[in-house]
């Protein structure tokens, strides 16, 4: 919904993604943008999304610095070029939304964009104004997904978001949490409300959500976005100091970013991970986790054990 101007390349892409519960192969070439060869479907709609999205906390909060804005636009360009779609932001992230808007304009409004933003205010009355401000910063017609950030005033904001969805002004509704906080509340909300998406922290060193939340998401048909897939950068920095195990090749992981991200996105309940980065080389590395093979359960256990030892 964010930038559809005609029957888009995305619609074409989706129509070709027939069948398959989990991964689907994209056989066509010749598009300006590379298509990631693994996608997962959003349970509530069947729409396919690549396994890796793009976060924007800290990395895109660069104010009015033109040099930094252009460098962020390069990251976004590399993201789309590698077949990326979902970009996540929030009014809490300083100038990040405006940076995304700058990049999208510079790139000519990629139609494959899946715009995911949040509402973050304790005042229910301010919700609509904040969402409109965010939309202006992104300079999109509408968001694809709006999430209640950190469950802040969630009851009132969910009413608003479900209302927007009913009116056709929004495609998906979600809630977010992070750092393992408020899992009890999240569980209750997931049980009681018809959410399309839920966002939570999940990575190889923070696996608490495997116990209840991820199985519940599967059971309830809620798509999961994994935030902080590198634990805010700590995990990848630590991993990159070590040699990648030789058996990583078995799951098609040529480097640590692929290894860590494939661990996250190979969980059956997880739809995508949203690493943030300031660097084009990093976004390219990250996007590679959206193609090739995915580890099976036994390999995931082996991966987790290996990461614990790092």
Partner 1 sequence: MSEWMTYRLSDFLMFSPSTYFRQFELYNADVWPAHIMTLTLGAACLWLSRQPIAAPQRALPAILAGCWLWVAWGYLYTRYATINWAASYFAGAFVLQAILLFLVGTFGKKLEFGGSIQRAQKAGIAIFLIAMIVQPLIGVIAGRPWVEAEVFGLAPNPTVAATLGLLLAARRWRWELFVIPALWCGIDGATRLAMEAPDFWVMPVVAILVIGLAAAAAIDRRRAARQL
Ligand X SMILES: NC(=O)c1ccc[n+]([C@@H]2O[C@H](COP(=O)([O-])OP(=O)(O)OC[C@H]3O[C@@H](n4cnc5c(N)ncnc54)[C@H](OP(=O)(O)O)[C@@H]3O)[C@@H](O)[C@H]2O)c1
Q: Which of 95, 134, 147, 201 binds partner 1 (CB under 8 A)?
A: 95
Q: Is 59 in the site for ligand X (CB under 6 A)?
A: yes
Contact letters (x/-) for partner 1, 40-59, by CB under 8 A?
Answer: -----------------xxx
Q: Does 181 bind partner 1 (CB under 8 A)?
A: yes
Region near ligand X per CB under 6 A, out of 18-26, 30-38, 53-61, 106-114: 53-61
Residue whose tokens read 């598009």: 31
**What is the chain's length?**
310
Residue 295's Cα: distance from chain center in Å?
Answer: 20
User: Closest distance between partner 1 and the C-beta of residue 182, in Å?
Assistant: 7
User: Does 280 contact partner 1 by CB under 8 A?
Assistant: no
Q: Does 95 bind ligand X (CB under 6 A)?
A: no
Closer residue to ligand X in complex, CB, 13/236:
236
DSSP the chain: --S--SS-HHHHHHHH--S-SS---------SSPPPS-EEE-TTT--EEESB-B--TTTT--TT-HHHHHHHHHHHHHHHHTT--EEE--TTSTTHHHHHHHHHHHTT--TT-EEEEEE--S-TTTHHHHHHHHHHHHT-SS-SEEEEGGGTTHHHHHHHHHHHHHTTS-SEEEEE--TTTTHHHHHHHHHHS--SEEEEE-BTTB-GGGTTHHHHHHHHT-EEEEE-TTGGGHHHHHHTTSPPPGGGGGGT--SHHHHHHHHHHTSTTEEEE----S-HHHHHHHHGGGSS----HHHHHHHHHHHHH-
Q: Considering the rule CB under 8 A, would residue 33 count as an interface residue with partner 1?
A: no
180 binds partner 1 (CB under 8 A): yes
For partner 1, the binding residue among 7, 25, 64, 128 (CB under 8 A) is 64
Q: Which is nearer to partner 1, 20 or 63 (CB)?
A: 63
Instruction: By CB under 6 A, name the one of 71, 130, 205, 278 that touches ligand X.
Output: 278
- 61 touches partner 1 (CB under 8 A): yes
271 part of the interface to ligand X, by CB under 6 A: no
CA distances from 141 to 134, 194, 201, 260 (A): 11, 24, 29, 34
Q: Please tell me whether residue 286 binds ligand X under the rule CB under 6 A.
A: yes
Which of ligand X, partner 1, none sits in contact with 282, Cβ below 5 to 8 A by type?
Answer: ligand X
Residue whose CB is less far from ligand X, 48 or 75: 75
Which is closer to ligand X, CB of 100 or CB of 269?
100
Output the smallest distance, CB 130 to partner 1, in A.
12
Could you give the string, one character per residue 139-178, with x where binding to partner 1 holds by CB under 8 A and - elsewhere?
Answer: ----------------------------------------
147-176 binders of ligand X (CB under 6 A): 149-150, 176
Query: Smaller CB distance to partner 1: residue 117 or 196?
Result: 117
Q: Round to whole Å and give the CA distance between 70 and 22.
A: 36
d(CA 268, CA 258): 17
Name which of residues 208 to 267 contact partner 1 (CB under 8 A). Answer: 232
Q: 3 vs 149, which CB is nearer to ligand X?
A: 149
- Alpha-carbon span 199 to 174, nearest angstrom: 7
Binding site for ligand X (CB under 6 A): 55-57, 59, 88, 149-150, 176-178, 199, 227-233, 236, 257, 274-279, 282, 285-286
């Amino acid at each position: 919904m964010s930038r559809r101007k005609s029957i888009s390349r995305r619609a074409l892409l989706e129509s070709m993604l027939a069948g398959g519960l989990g991964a689907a192969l994209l056989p066509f070439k010749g598009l300006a943008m590379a298509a990631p060869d693994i996608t997962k479907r959003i349970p509530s709609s069947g729409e396919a999304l690549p396994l890796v999205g793009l976060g924007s906390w800290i990395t895109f909060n660069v104010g009015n610095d033109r040099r930094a804005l252009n460098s962020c636009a390069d990251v976004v360009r590399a993201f789309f070029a590698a077949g990326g779609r979902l970009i996540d932001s929030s009014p809490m992230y300083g100038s990040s939304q405006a940076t995304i808007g700058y990049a999208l304009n510079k790139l000519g409004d990629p139609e494959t964009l899946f715009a995911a933003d949040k509402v973050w205010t304790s005042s229910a009355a301010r919700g609509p104004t904040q969402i409109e401000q965010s939309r202006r910063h992104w300079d999109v017609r509408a968001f694809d997904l709006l999430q209640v950030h950190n469950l802040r005033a969630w009851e009132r904001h969910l009413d608003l978001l479900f209302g927007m969805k009913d009116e056709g002004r929004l495609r998906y509704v979600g809630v977010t949490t992070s750092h393992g906080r408020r899992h009890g509340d999240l569980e209750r909300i997931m049980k009681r409300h018809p959410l399309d998406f839920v966002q939570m922290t999940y990575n190889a060193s923070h696996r608490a959500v495997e116990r209840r939340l991820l199985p519940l998401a599967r059971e309830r048909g809620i798509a999961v976005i994994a935030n902080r897939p590198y634990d805010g950068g700590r995990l990848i920095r630590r991993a990159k100091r070590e040699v990648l195990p030789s058996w990583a090749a078995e799951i098609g992981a040529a480097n640590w970013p692929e290894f860590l991200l494939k661990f996250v996105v190979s969980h059956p309940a997880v739809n995508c991970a949203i690493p943030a980065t300031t660097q084009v080389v990093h976004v390219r590395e990250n996007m590679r986790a959206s193609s090739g093979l995915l580890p099976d359960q036994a390999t995931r256990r082996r991966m987790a054990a290996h990461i614990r030892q790092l």
